[in-house]
Chains A and B, each alone.
Chain A
Amino acid sequence: AQSVSQHNHHVILSEAASLELGCNYSYGGTVNLFWYVQYPGQHLQLLLKYFSGDPLVKGIKGFEAEFIKSKFSFNLRKPSVQWSDTAEYFCAVNPYGNNRLAFGKGNQVVVIP
């Protein structure tokens, strides 16, 4: 079945540590890729997106993600996290040609001050 996989559902790290969250998908063909973030008590909001072009995408709040087509991956990174990055992070894939988003299960990230 087509799916979006996110591993290490719970991540705990200290401020200033580097963060990398993996995302792999199993859809063939052209896809659009997204990372969404949900801060405690808030709604889902878009962190960054990739449609085409440079496979290294920069988003808000110092986050970036790299699309590696051969690995069907779209990993999220931040070199130095802050306490305010505590949130749940969702990878989402849009297979080309339709409007639906397919989400992964999410990564719950806790940053300890």
Chain B
Amino acid sequence: GAGVSQSPRYKVAKRGQDVALRCDPISGHVSLFWYQQALGQGPEFLTYFQNEAQLDKSGLPSDRFFAERPEGSVSTLKIQRTQQEDSAVYLCASSLLRGIDQPQHFGDGTRLSIL
């Protein structure tokens, strides 16, 4: 498709399990962002990639969160030993070039529920 694709749309996991969330950015987009959106809140920045390089991971809340983009296209956000506070919508966005003046195109998000 033409937009940013995220999978799965919904994920339910038990506390302590590991989860992996996938993002397919728009083809050719250089920049890729992950955001976490808790219920009733705005999205919060997690991490930023330029091609395969993770240039900013300062928003990752703990060392249980890990993101990669090994070939500069698809990205995976992994959460280890999930906890209830990890329940949120995880949004991926991509932009054509580097630089904030490039509009960020958002996916529909993955809604993660930790039981």
Mark A residues whose CB is within 8 Å of B.
Answer: 4, 6, 9, 32, 36, 42-46, 49, 51, 90, 92, 94, 98-106
Complex Cα distance, B4 from A45, in Å, reads 12
In the complex, the answer to whether B106 meets A45 with C-beta atoms within 8 Å is yes
| Residue B81 lies at the interface, judged by CB distance under 8 Å to chain A | no
Chain B, interface residues (CB within 8 Å), range: 20 to 34
Give the interface SS of chain B, mostly helix, strand, loop or mixed: loop
Q: Which of A32, A101, A103, A104 contacts B101 (CB 8 A)?
A: A32
* Chain A nearest CB, measured from B17 CB (Å): 27
* Chain B nearest CB, measured from A31 CB (Å): 10
In the complex, the answer to whether A99 meets B99 with C-beta atoms within 8 Å is yes
In the complex, the answer to whether B104 meets A46 with C-beta atoms within 8 Å is yes
In the complex, the answer to whether A43 meets B108 with C-beta atoms within 8 Å is yes
In the complex, the answer to whether A101 meets B107 with C-beta atoms within 8 Å is no
In the complex, the answer to whether A105 meets B41 with C-beta atoms within 8 Å is yes
* Chain A nearest CB, measured from B35 CB (Å): 8
